[in-house]
Structure 1
Amino acid sequence: MATPLSIQLYTLRDQIAADRDGTLSRLAGIGYTAVEAYDPTADPTGFRKVVDDLGISVNSTHAYALFDKEAAEVFDAIATVGTDLVIIPGGIAHEEFTTAEGLDRTAATLNGFAEKAAERGMRIGYHNHWWEIEPRFDGRTALEELADRLAPEVFLEVDTYWAAVGGADVPALLRTLGDRVLALHVKDGPGVKDQPHTAVGKGTIDVPSILAAAPHAQRIVELDTCAGDIFEAVADSLAYLTELERS
């Protein structure tokens, strides 16, 4: 793994809303040295100062904002927070992944974002949920079909948990997608929709096999929800993945 283990800050969205600086400081104290932002347009200058002071790098960011803000404003904010990897984590109707025509439209949208990003020295990626996995086209997932339609510079951030929930053999999917996959969202839980996630290593997901199938991809911890203490869960996730990488 070439880059440090990261965490998607959406995991701690409620804590960040209440006390951003304190939450980031607590993450640094746990041992996280990299984060993935989820709204780079929210006080990018202030955010950058805090992470710089804490010695935290911003390896990537999600950017729903590209759907409802001027691209220049969004890319300016992303440049300020300090990354060049920009991920679209949704914002496209689920139905678009059920037909070839919908996949064509989705690819055109993402390729269009990628052209604008390239003007700023940035790259666009796409992050899946289960609805890009469940639809099948001659046995292939909609995500694989989408990948074939994307411009070469568009990468994938595979959410390994939602891929499993969608019915994929996740290691096989990662091997098929190959170098298109730059990042993995690593999460764990019961493996079904609408139930809380757990610390990585404490659920039903075969995390070691998944990581072995994409050894060079960035690992990013994320818990969409958590039944217990969220800081304990992210600390346990970091400890588990650090030990796994060493073994």
Structure 2
Amino acid sequence: MTTRRFFIKTTSLASAALFVKPGALHFKDAHIGLQLYTVRNAMGKDPAGTLAKVASIGYNSVEGATYTGTENFYGLDAKSFAALLKQNGLIMPSSHYRLGEDQENGKDLMGTILHDWDKAVDDAKTAGIKYMVCAWLSPAERGNADHYKLLAERLNKAGETCAKAGIQLCYHNHDFEFTQDNGQLPYDILLSHADKNLVKFELDLYWVNKAGHDPVALFNANPGRFPLWHVKDMDNTPQHAFTEVGNGVIDFKTIFKGADKAGLKYFFVEQDITPGDPFISITKSIDYIKKNLI
């Protein structure tokens, strides 16, 4: 008789559908992803070796983080990086990008939403990316409520370009989007002013919890808007530091029960800072996820 543990192990490798118990994760493909920012130093030195190590730990999907500025994926063009992913049995359904409103060393950042976006979209399609994510706003790009309304317009325009290529645009939060401006939350402005079909959201579970908001309440109020999640935990200290999934205070079991309402398609483990070897940390996180969440 096939055990549940054996079934998860084999079907995750084959990217087949899971059967799950009530309250577990309900989405088609059994992908456990890693945001490559977690192993950024290793990726900078040896992308091929790092991806092989990530796959050997048990991750079968990754999320990119380096296209902005270089217009390459970890030093490789889109076709070459796609081949490297395939070689390691990985997919990269999502990748991060910048808005590009501010400059770097007095020059526009290329491969951003505001600069050379058409090329970014073309390269994303070549690399097999399904979701392009606006990853972070610099302090200069945040501004007031009106500026977030302008951002929503820009996201809608960029989302139209993505849609023509069969790609979904998303926005990834931190905690600053949950700081009120004249009684308004920037995150609420984006939810209400961005087109619900053109712009969806990658919910970072750490940052939304740190800001004192409930992910499940967001799912219930905005069903289907959150196809991507960052799964990262918060430790039980006054610093509320990053920690391995299952090692902190975030109630992932309750949050994962809302996967269907959220519209979840892919999630990615991310730990911006690790206490030591990041590969030890990502191993602890995936072990917890496999035993407790899917």
1:1-247 mapped onto 2 (5 Å cutoff): 1-3=27-29, 4-40=31-67, 41-42=72-73, 43=76, 44-64=78-98, 65-67=111-113, 69-91=115-137, 93=139, 96=142, 98-99=144-145, 101-135=146-180, 141-153=185-197, 154-190=199-235, 196-215=241-260, 216-217=263-264, 218-246=266-294
Cα deviation, residue 205, structure 1: 1.6
Deviations 1:40-68 (Å, cap 9, x if unpaired)? 42312222111101111111111223246
CA contact (8 A) 2:252 2:293 kept: no
Which secondary structure state, in structure 1, belongs to the residue aligned with residue 227 of structure 2? strand
Deviations 1:154-181 (Å, cap 9, x if unpaired)? 1100001001111212322232222111
Q: Which moves more between the two structures, 188-197 or 19-28?
A: 188-197
In the alignment, the residues of structure 2 paired with residue 74 and residue 193 of structure 1 have an alpha-carbon distance, to the nearest angstrom, of: 40
Letter in 1 for 2:84: V
Change (3 A) 1:28 1:111: same
Deviations 1:190-219 (Å, cap 9, x if unpaired)? 278976521100012222122222345122
Question: Who wins on radius of gyration, i.e. which is larger?
Answer: 2
> Aligned residues: percent identity?
27
The runs of at least 4 aligned residues of structure 1 exceeding 3 Å deviation read: 91-98, 191-196
CA contact (8 A) 1:196 1:226 kept: no
The number of residue pairs the alignment matches comes to 244
Q: Which moves more between the two structures, 160-169 or 114-123?
A: 114-123
Change (3 A) 1:124 1:213: same
In the alignment, the residues of structure 2 paired with residue 159 and residue 193 of structure 1 have an alpha-carbon distance, to the nearest angstrom, of: 20
Letter in 1 for 2:134: I
Letter in 2 for 1:35: V
Cα deviation, residue 87, structure 1: 0.6
In the alignment, the residues of structure 2 paired with residue 11 and residue 62 of structure 1 have an alpha-carbon distance, to the nearest angstrom, of: 13
Letter in 2 for 1:164: N
Cα deviation, residue 144, structure 1: 2.5
CA contact (8 A) 1:10 1:222 kept: yes
Cα deviation, residue 91, structure 1: 3.2
Q: Which moves more between the two structures, 69-78 or 53-62?
A: 69-78
CA contact (8 A) 1:97 1:135 kept: no
In the alignment, the residues of structure 1 paired with residue 174 and residue 228 of structure 2 have an alpha-carbon distance, to the nearest angstrom, of: 14
Instruction: Quote the RMSD (CA, aligned, Å).
Output: 2.3
CA contact (8 A) 1:33 1:57 kept: yes
In the alignment, the residues of structure 2 paired with residue 191 and residue 174 of structure 1 have an alpha-carbon distance, to the nearest angstrom, of: 25
Which secondary structure state, in structure 2, belongs to the residue aligned with residue 178 of structure 1? coil
Which runs of 5 or more residues in structure 2 are unaligned? 1-26, 99-110
Letter in 2 for 1:227: P
